[in-house]
Structure 1
Amino acid sequence: MLFAMTTTTFELGGDLHVRRIGLGTMRFADEPANRRGASAPVWAAPTDRADLTRLLREATDAGVNLFDTADAYALGEGERLLGEALAGVSDVVLATKVGVVRPDPATWVPLGHPDYLRQQVELSLRRLGRDVIDLVYLHRIDPAYPLAEQVGALTDAVHAGKVRHLGLSEATAEQVDAARSVAPIAAVQNLYNLTDRSHDAVVEHTRDSGTAFVPFFPLSFDHAAVPSLGEVAAEHGMTPNQVALAWLLHRGPHLLPIPGTTSIRHLKENLAALDTELSADQLARLNADHAPAIGS
């Protein structure tokens, strides 16, 4: 289903007030020329640390207050950059992910051993410079360990006052329910955009329970695959990326896209989608470009 864009904010976990467009920082690594494309290594500390620090501070000035990272991004350097750049900045929500190991620049392997997850929460706390992490996702569900044990390990951190809320990444609706039998789940972060709607069922499921759905790679798709995208953008005098984000915001009041960018100009363009109301006709045309279509 598609909805009118009724609000620009969301209460994450019921107590964290966030704007509905955040900032994904996965590509805040390596050298600038080595960040684009699916093969970007996300392996080493960024070579332009001062520029990225400035951008993160400017993002808060522009109104962004939800920032997303992971312990696997640049082997923890992503968390360190975010923690140091936003040290002392109030009213920001930091989300990280644990449960993936990086034996080399090309490999991402789920690891859900409960003791490993507990250790990674401790390391994330140190790198982020926080006493409490606002939101910790299980980065990937490891089939080698029961889901209840993986979620249980993160729940221990909640009970110890080290983590405020828990989330899952790349999870099905059934896995969300299974995790929820162990602990409250505040957010689900899955790949989702105008052309990849394989998680439609999770979008609906999380909306019904008031759980945040956080689309990652919301703009990583071939715009030519959505012919009406350029048409609707022209009608609004906007960029196609702004319309793609507006479509996600209309998809449900619980959607919190986290587009990544290292350009303050692009970041401000992304935020402008919060003020864009798409008409029923425009939503129908955008929706019709994808099969099977989502109900309107």
Structure 2
Amino acid sequence: MSALQLNAAAAGAFTLGGDLNVNRLGYGAMRIVGKGVWGPSEDKPAALATLRRAVELGVNLIDTADSYGPHVSEELIAEALHPYPAGLVIATKAGWERVGPGQWIHNASPAHLTKALEGSLKRLRLDRIDVFQLHIPDPAVSFDASMECLAQHREAGKIRHVGLSNVALEYVERARRLVPIVSVQNRYSFADREWDFVVDYCARHDIGFMPWAPLGQVRLASEALDRAARQLNATRMQVGLAWLLKRAKNILPIPGTSNVGHLEENVAAAALQLPDDTFDELSAMSSPHAVLRG
């Protein structure tokens, strides 16, 4: 693809909450930290360069979380990009605690969410978080209590909009009775379609859907994916991202990487037009299982 096409704006735009206009191909900042989503980046200069290049390429939606590192991803975003360019939307999440590499412990208590929010504001050098998401419902805490906490912080002006992550439709509907919800983030791809009905619900209600793990269980569809990639002179990841962009206008893919070259490959998918027959063939590939963390 030509350099003129290498821009996230080629994917079109979506408006979150009625006032945040974002290019549909975003960036997920989980991979800029250490292995096991723990500790400092193994190549900090590369991580910073990737963040800066993402913005240069028209990415204006960056998704992160306080648990990435923990804290490392948010700190790198601020170091690389603050003062932030006009129109850049930073979405972060809270609801996990971290005790080691690959270890995640639920904590969506109001006290923890409040502490996490204050920490994210400080690390990101912001007075208000554009989109603050509950990372996952906590089985030991009332879901309504978690959401009421975020609603209160929204009312106080520390959160602009509230989002959800790793949720079934029941939680989306319950949350919307307490506070407006502008985004849902679940694992989803052409090969991992458990949350199809959540995508459709969000589309009907103008709620952005941020899929993570955009290639899903590719081993189930590797032949079709490889064939599509060859026909379109594209990479497997580009084809997977193009499928998501074609699936629904409210889908906002957030592929992550800590490598500028990989980032550019991902952004090029914004301009990749997937033929209908290829879309249909990939759509027939699905996995009934999803692992909730992203």
TM-score when scaled to structure 1?
Answer: 0.89
The alpha-carbon deviation at position 65 of structure 1 amounts to 0.9
Describe the superposition over 1:28-58 as per-residue Cα deviations: whole angstroms up to 9, x where unpaired.
112xxxxxxxxx4211122422221122111
Counterparts of 2:59 and 2:108, CA distance in 1: 31
Match of 1:172 in 2: 168
In the alignment, structure 1 residue 26 sits paired with structure 2 residue 21: no
Of 47, 54, 65, 1:59 maps to 54
Give me the CA root mean square deviation: 1.7
Match for residue 134 of structure 1 among 130, 134, 140: 130
- SS of structure 2 residue aligned to 1:235: helix
Aligned equivalents of 2:156 and 2:286: distance in 1?
A: 45
Q: Which runs of 4+ in 1 moved over 4 A?
A: none
The 5-angstrom pairing of residues 1-296 of structure 1 reads 8-30=12-34, 40-90=35-85, 91-223=87-219, 225-290=221-286
Query: Displacement of 1:86 after TM fit?
Result: 1.1
Aligned partner of residue 69 in structure 2, secondary structure? helix
Q: Could you tell me which amino acid in structure 1 is paired with residue 18 of structure 2?
A: G
The whole-number CA distance in structure 2 between the counterparts of 1:290 and 1:220 is: 9
Per the normalisation by structure 2, the TM-score is 0.90
The offset of 1:220, in angstroms, is 4.8
Equivalenced residue count is 278
Q: Distance in 2 between matches of 1:179 and 1:11?
A: 20
Contact 1:140 1:170 in 2 (8 A): yes
Cα deviation code 1:133-169 (max 9, x no counterpart): 1111101101222211101111111111111111111
| 2:48 and 2:80 in contact (8 A); partners too | yes
Unaligned runs of at least 5 residues, structure 1: 1-5, 31-39
Q: Partner of 2:100: helix, strand, or coil?
A: coil
What is the alpha-carbon distance in structure 2 between the residues aligned to residue 10 and residue 224 of structure 1? 31
Q: Quick one: percent identity of the two aligned structures?
A: 40
Structure-1 separation of matches of 2:216 and 2:81: 26
Distance 2:219 2:57 in 1: 27
Letter in 2 for 1:60: V
Are residues 213 and 41 of structure 1, via their aligned partners in 2, closer, same or farther at CA, if it must alter by over 3 Å? same
In the aligned structure 2, how far is the partner of 1:224 from the partner of 1:237? 21
Structure 2 distance, partners of 1:45, 1:142, is 27
